[in-house]
Structure 1
């Protein structure tokens, strides 16, 4: 599974979200996900109005079970990072439901944006 973290013009910047330790959150997510998946940062996912954006992509097993990438917006609190990591360890999209309050973070993006993210 792959967890893609937006760190472009709006996501991950002190200008838009002062007081959030963006670099610390990214490292915390990488450490917490560990061997359950790959965490990568990209420049921009083009959903700036809902920053910070994270996309949780299914593993091959999850995709075979019907899982598709899940877009999360406003990922600003450490508890959300913990929930994303717990979801990765539980199998992620297609294999497990998102834990905690992640269902409240689900966002809908345009097909153009969705298709622009290589999996």
Structure 2
């Protein structure tokens, strides 16, 4: 199947932004002491549950960036040129609040990534990126 068809299918299947939160081997565990991983996920779900799909996954295979959050655009955001944004080292409540505000404003393709979140943006390998973005 071509990428174009895959992207079109993904856009049709995701009318809202999707926020994927890694909770695998390094993210969501004791690797990052002092981070309340359960509270972070609960906050994302409480703040975004009515406007975005929030899902926890086992491992995004970007352990050196723990905790990892991927914000995928809505169908409208994708049509406007938005692409998934990978955020790493999301280990404090302020970063979580910045993510919820950005997704609340529309997310990728519809709202600029807040400058503060530029500090968290990273590019995973194509293999890792493809596995998540095609879900």
Same fold (TM over 0.5): yes
Secondary structure (helix, strand or coil) at the match of 2:102 reads helix
Is 1:83 the counterpart of 2:98 in the alignment?
yes
Per-residue deviation, residues 40-95 of structure 1 (Å, max 9, x unmatched): 00000000001100000000000000001000000001011111111111000000
Specify every segment of 5 or more residues in structure 2 that has no aligned partner in the other structure, as ranges: 1-16
Runs of 4+ in structure 1 displaced over 2 angstroms?
none
Q: Is this contact kept in 2: 1:83–1:100, CA < 8 A?
A: no
Is 1:12 the counterpart of 2:25 in the alignment?
no
Secondary structure (helix, strand or coil) at the match of 1:39 reads strand
Secondary structure (helix, strand or coil) at the match of 1:32 reads helix
Q: Which residue of 2 aligns with 1:47?
A: 62
Q: Which residue of 1 aligns with 2:111?
A: 96
TM-score, length basis structure 2: 0.85
Q: In structure 2, how many angstroms separate the alpha carbons of the residues matched to 1:62 and 1:81?
A: 21
Q: Decide whether aligned partners of structure 1 residues 5 and 19 sit closer, same or farther in structure 2, where only a CA change above 3 A counts.
A: same
- Cα distance, 1:20 vs. partner? 0.7
Specify every segment of 5 or more residues in structure 1 that has no aligned partner in the other structure, as ranges: none
Larger radius of gyration: 2
- Cα distance, 1:100 vs. partner? 5.0
Q: In structure 1, how many angstroms separate the alpha carbons of the residues matched to 2:96 and 2:32?
A: 16
Is 1:107 the counterpart of 2:102 in the alignment?
no
Secondary structure (helix, strand or coil) at the match of 2:122 reads coil
